[in-house]
Structure 1
Amino acid sequence: MRSSDLAQVLRNIPATNDQKIKAGIGEDVFAYDHNNGTILQTVDMITPIVDDPYQFGAIAVANALSDIYAKGGIPKYALNIIEFPVSSLPLSYLEEMIKGGTDKALEAGVAIVGGHTIDDSPKYGVSVTGFLPENGKFISKSGAKPGDRIFLTKPLGIGIYTTAIDEKLATEEQVTEVVSQMTTLNRNASEAMIAADATACTDVTGFGLIGHLSEVAEKSGVSIELFNETIPFLQDAFQLLEQGAVSEGILKNHYSFHKNVSHTAKLTRDEEYLLYDPQTSGGLLIFVPQAKTDSLIRELNQRNVPVYPIGMAIEKKDVAIETKNKLR
């Protein structure tokens, strides 16, 4: 769904007066103060994006957990949400899908304690409950300040690769590469940003890099300089774009967010598409004060998390995002 469509259907939901609610619509999670702590809840589900049901289950759970990690939280419990066509697919597929999800949840220290199923075309996700650690800070989208440096923890191009899988364009090596990215939890990246006192964070998922940067810019009241030359991407992303792996999601994101962007150097169609590519289980987009950049890099390196400096927050301008230079 385009972000403009989502905004339209949510506009009539009444605001709540409950002062214990710290975050809701417009954030990655619902956050609620309770018994001197903060409870976090989120939900996400996806359609199959790889052929292997075990891998699909693991990806779906890793993807859903990322919203908790992006807020500096610790996921604890989850409920399965499953649509599965029992009359047209073997139950062994469902069994493997659930096993993949369960194993990924256990890796994260999360217990899947129940769920709900519907007889329909296959989809899988989880509703996750977590909490902020003791004395922890809720890391919102609205905390970025001018001068903050921006880091990304996974390369872009996941949506391009999964489109290539769907269109039978991807090689075994490309499938292995993208599955590795999508099944990597953002737990270590979250721990690192907490230690480095991040000011703002979100995970890069369906709205692509530009869409999620736009959200932070709007909610924080800043603009963003994006350094195209340092943006990471999966090694065959451009090759697959040239072969036609352009998803509907790229086009929807471009339609929704291109007006937020000014380019100082002319980009090719494919370079621009990469910036709008919707990610599944993408990396964290972390904002830290300039004085904390070395700390963040050190903390990420200690946890074997890739770190890519991709820009900085600046005083608010007429345009939300200014890109510098070309991607390649």
Structure 2
Amino acid sequence: MHRKKTRPSELPAAESESESTEPVRLTQFSHGGGCGCKIAPGVLEQMLARTAPGLAPKQLLVGIETSDDAAVYQINSEQALVATTDFFMPIVDDPFDFGCIAATNALSDVYAMGGVPLLALAVVGMPVNKLPLQTIKRILEGGESICAKARIPIAGGHTIDSVEPIYGLVAIGLVHPDNVKRNAGARPGDKLILGKGLGVGFFSAALKKGILSAPCYTSMIASTTQLNTPGRALACLAGVHAMTDVTGFGLLGHLVEICKASRVSAEIDFAALPVLPNALDYAAKGCITGASERNWASYGEHVTLPKKQFGDLERALLTDPQTSGGLLVSCAPEVVTEVLAIFLQEGFDRAAVIGGISEGKPQVTVVKGKAE
């Protein structure tokens, strides 16, 4: 059933919400927050392997074959439709911030394919007997504010009464068929560029423990609500060979996907990784999500991480689930300066070259201390 009753102004007012004086902690309702509640990549791979192959018309340029960010369906010689959906449970307690993060994360998949968002549909599941309706309104308002920044409407959606709060979007975009950027296509000799700092999972774990500082919370919100708009311009560069966004599977997980899809090997320079301020300090205090360990169990066999150089803390950063994380770009060396300039022009001052691509079996090797 398709409903268009997702706008805050259309929700009925709750008689009891003015009577409640206790602030609602959204994270208390969720067993896993943000992209950390994604099904582990190894389990997901087994699930999809057991499904029967579906219809794959020639117009379907991108399907599920390489676990890419979105489906792409060619309409004509100039246009292809980008379609994706993403939703999750609260990663923060503030309802407006939660809505902003979830919407930003969903739209990121369109940008990661090189597309421009066209419209969105809201996916809303709420425990309506436990959450004040004003809180639900604020979640929806947060999502609408991000869509307004992306200059697209929320044109409808679907709502259900659920045990845990769930919010996200179905996002629809457009891209020129020649400019589609997949997680396949990385070439030996390419450089790897990451657009945002790592450590969102550490911050979310610290928030749930009640020890995240106000400045770090501000840093977390700034990162997770920054739309990955550089994807639009990067799509027009022939030297950009592959692109994805780093989310619930962590940096290693999404890079392993690139390597598998492109049939290449990759190397990461740990010293070059951009990290959100103080994120590693929280990790050292034990603020590490359970999703990090599940991620490693799923794809660790495809990673070379020397134990003499790296400990549990470093591994946790590499596998840390990133909610609304940065774009990961594989590009020719001659366009690195241009790619970094595009990131910088759009306000991504942490974008950095973090490694490179080489020939070999799908494997990621992590090295330490090569950054200048």
Q: Output the TM-score relative to the length of structure 1.
A: 0.95
Instruction: Give the partner amino acid of 2:227.
Output: L
Q: How far apart in 2 are the matches of 1:110 and 1:184?
A: 16
Contact kept, 8 Å, 1:192 with 1:303, in 2: the verdict is no
Q: 1:95 maps to which residue?
A: 137
Find out whether 1:190 has 2:190 as its counterpart. no
Structure 1 distance, partners of 2:342, 2:225, is: 21
Instruction: Tell me how far apart the structure 1 counterparts of residues 252 and 283 of structure 2 sit (CA, whole Å).
Output: 18
Residue 267 of structure 1: aligned partner: 310
Matched residue SS, 1:267: coil
Of 69, 77, 82, 2:124 maps to 82
Q: Counterpart of 1:43 in 2: which secondary structure?
A: strand
Is 1:310 matched with 2:354? Answer: yes
Contact 2:116 2:232 in 1 (8 A): no
CA distance in 2, matches of 1:303, 1:86: 39
Instruction: Check the 8 A contact 1:206/1:279 in 2, yes or no.
Output: yes
Structure 2: distance between partners of 1:300 and 1:195: 14
Residue matched to 2:69? 28
- How much has 1:174 moved relative to structure 2? 1.3
List structure 1 segments (4+ residues) > 4 angstroms apart after TM superposition.
none
How big is the shift at 1:299?
2.4
Deviation at 1:303, TM superposition (A): 2.6
Secondary structure at the aligned position of 1:206 is classed as coil
Check if 1:138 corresponds to 2:177: no
> CA–CA distance in 2 between the matches of 1:39 and 1:282?
23
Partner of 1:38: 80
Matches for 1:1-328 after TM superposition, within 5 Å: 1-11=39-49, 12-25=51-64, 26-36=67-77, 37-120=79-162, 121-133=164-176, 136-187=178-229, 189-197=230-238, 198-264=240-306, 266-306=309-349, 307-317=351-361, 320-325=363-368
Measured after TM superposition, the shift of residue 15 of structure 1 is 3.4
Q: Give the stretch that moved more between structures: 164-173 or 224-233.
A: 164-173
Pick the structure with greater CA Rg.
Answer: 2
For the Cα contact (< 8 Å) 1:192–1:300, is it kept in 2? no
Moved more, 191-200 or 226-235: 191-200
C-alpha displacement at 1:316, in angstroms?
1.2
- Alignment RMSD, CA only? 1.6
Report percent identity of matched pairs.
Answer: 34
Q: Which runs of 5+ in 1 are unaligned?
A: none
Task: Write the distance in 1 (CA, Å) between the matches of 2:76 and 2:305.
Answer: 48
* 2:31 alignment partner in structure 1: none
| DSSP 3-state at the match of 2:171 | strand
CA displacement, residues 121-144 of structure 1 (integer Å, 9 cap, x when unaligned): 2010000111104x6511011110
Please give the alpha-carbon distance, in whole angstroms, between the structure 1 residues aligned to 2:127 and 2:369: 45
Aligned partner letter, 1:166 = K
- Measure, in 1, the Cα distance between the counterparts of 2:198 and 2:71: 27
Moved more, 263-272 or 227-236: 263-272
C-alpha contact (below 8 Å) 1:271/1:327 kept by paired residues? no
Per mean C-alpha deviation after superposition, the further-off stretch among 96-105 and 33-42 is: 33-42
Confirm or deny: 8 A CA contact 1:148 1:287 kept in the other structure: yes
Give me the TM-score of the superposition, normalised by structure 2.
0.84
Moved more, 200-209 or 244-253: 244-253
Q: Which runs of 5+ in 2 are unaligned?
A: 1-38
Residue 179 of structure 2 aligns to a residue in which SS? coil
Measured after TM superposition, the shift of residue 302 of structure 1 is: 2.6
For 2:340 and 2:126, the matched residues in 1 are separated by 42
Q: Within 2, Cα distance between the matches of 1:72 and 1:227?
A: 26
